[in-house]
Amino acid sequence: MCGICAIFGGPPEAHAEQVIQAMVAALCHRGPDTQSHRRAAGAVLGHARLSIIDLSGGDQPMADEIQRRWIVFNGEIYNYRELREELIRLGHRFRTQSDTEVILAAHGAWGAACLDRFRGMFAFAIWDQRERRLFAARDIFGEKPLYYARAADGALLLASEIKSIIASGRIDPRIDAAAVDDYLRLGYVPPDRTIYENIHTLPPGHYLEWGGTGAPRSSCYWEPVFDTRPIALDEAGERLRGLLGQAVRRQMVADVPVGAFLSGGHDSSTVVALMARQATQPVKTFAVGFGEWINELPYARAVADLYQTEHHEIDLGTPPVAELLERMAEVYDEPFMDPSHVPTFLISEYARRYVKVVLTGDGADELFGGYAWYPLFAASTQVSGSLLPWLVSRSVSRLLKDRVEGLARYSRAQSLTRRWADPWERYVCYRAGFNDERRAALWGGRGPMRSASPSDYYQPNARARGMDRVLHFDLMSFLPGDILVKVDRAAMAHGLETRAPFLDRDVVEFALSLPSALKVTPDQTKVLFKSALNRLWPEELRHRGKQGFAAPYQKWLGRRDVQALTRRVFRPGSALRELLPGIPLRMHEQRSYDVWSLLALGLWLERRQAHWLTRVA
């Protein structure tokens, strides 16, 4: 895990020593072990390294044997040893034991097709100094970030974080009103764009090519395809256990200690259980609680006791929230409102005292149908014009309470279906933080008037039907735009690498092949997941409902230090009100979600006054 940056093309002065040094310095938190840069013909590449694999021989930037092609790489290729053996059989000779060199060799042997062979998380750039051509790529869900921008002199800048591109001094960033509008709708900037109109992201599952002139060209090499096939529950469970075991085994490979985040939920508990089965020493686990407000520590302890882990926990009680929110506005280069970034940041800081790598449970909810609101949408795909067919299908032995709750859910599902026929559009509109009317009011009539549906980037293809259309949006938008951004920035702020076994490509493509009824029904979430894996959990967890890794932000908004921030951010003439003049005067009396979302945006804007909005259209 590292931070990468580079300048390609442009005049010779574009590759000035001080420019690349400033870009690398902006990424030191991602790679605190070593910082370096190298010149190549037509380019200069920088790297900040967090040493995980081949501690002595994996330094970057790295060149191939003949010094023709240079690479900077952020991430891990978990199956690099198998690929290395295959490439050796093809005649390639390796000088190091690193996965970085394997990427170089694989691209030389197979071109862009190498991406389909990688099992890992990655963002890398390869520069061919003979042909003056760039090839860059990003993993299927964008676990590792990659940004780029064109300078006025024609040079192409690339980096792991936006702050590195800005540190070059070569880009005058301009806030994009359409991206702000997306933030208001989603609570995060979607993963196919950035908050700036002149700084871009390479979307997940894409690669980029550039020949020194014109605009870079990006191509998609992977996207979720719901190719569902009939399979029995028992057979599916056996395959899931095997694939997850393989994924955890792959992701435990490292030349440094590996631990795990343990929230006490089903996902992280499953990862810890599978790690413990393969580890030769007790697994180091890390948990966080918020006193009486949110306290999952007893559940985490139950898992730690069952698997005899080396368990570490912190109970934050009442942390310095205002101070932390100010810090988050610096850590995240774009406005970000998910309040769980605070505990993620703090548990990452704590875990880094003991390990350099942790495994997480990220991705399980989106792949296997874990969110509490999913049954409502599963019901909405089954409703008909009459309640009678549904009532007949219900067991007459159900308790009255269950019947009443079921009827209420069915009624809500009918209402959703009447409003939006397509389950995908139904879900997108339901999940909106600020709907069209409320966003228009915030802009005060001068902002972008956009529809409720996001861009075509998120549209599922015709093969996705029913509930799969709902899951598609979270896989393409919420997971890479919110969850993975949250974890990457919070952990890498402390030089901690996070790995997500559920996002192993083999696990993912198996999940995409499952009928949606093995994921979510109108009565149950994670049908297959729970059936296949509950034997790994202590009794306390087996019948536990969904909690989610959260923070008590509604309580935090009542704290004096946070109220002081709110008064400052919402004051007349503030950066936030300059951008959104339609914000109600007594904003602090609005619903908690609205206040928190706009507070996060306002704090971010305060630190970027120079990057002011130049276009609202």
Residues belonging to the active site: 2
* Residue 539 CA from chain centroid, whole number: 31
Tokens of 283: 């697994």
In contact, 355 and 334? CB cutoff 8 Å: no
Tokens of 84: 């290395």
In angstroms, the CA 259 to CA 256 distance is 10
Q: What is each CA distance from 82 to 31, 261, 531, in whole angstroms?
A: 26, 28, 32
DSSP secondary structure string, 76-104? EETTHHHHHHHHHHTT---SSS-HHHHHH
Evaluate whether 481 touches 489 at the Cβ level (below 8 Å).
no
**Angle 513-518-521 (CA atoms, 0-180°, nearest 5)?**
130
C-alpha–C-alpha distance, residues 352 and 79, integer Å: 25
| Secondary structure (3-state) at 7 | strand
> Quick check: 272 and 309 in contact, CB under 8 A?
yes
What gap in Å lies between CA 314 and CA 312, rounded to an integer? Answer: 7
Which is nearest to 59 in space by CA: 101, 109, 26? 101
Strand partners of residue 284: 259, 310
Strands (E), 41-172: 43-49, 62-63, 69-77, 120-128, 133-138, 147-150, 156-159
Distance of CA 407 to the CA centre of its chain: 36
Rounded (10°) CA dihedral 358, 364, 370, 371? 70
Token pair 């931070």 is at which residue? 3
> Which amino acid is located at 196 in the chain?
Y
Alpha helices in 204-281 (DSSP H): 233-251, 266-278
541 contacts: CB under 8 Å, gap ≥ 6: 264, 265, 266, 269, 299, 302, 303
Q: Are 104 and 143 in contact (CB under 8 A)?
A: no
d(CA 363, CA 503): 6
Pairing of strands 497-499, 357-359: parallel
Residues 549 and 73: their CA atoms lie apart, in Å, by 30
Contact 410, 523 (CB under 8 A): no
**3-class SS of residue 40:** strand
What is the phi/psi pair of residue 337, to 5°?
Answer: -110, -10
Residue type, 570: F
Quick check: 207 and 134 in contact, CB under 8 A?
no
Structure tokens given for 374: 């999913």
β-bridge mates for residue 196, sequence order = 175
Answer yes or no: are the C-beta atoms of 308 and 285 closer than 8 Å: no
Tell me the torsion sign for CA atoms 532, 535, 537, 542: positive
Dmax of the chain from CA atoms?
A: 79
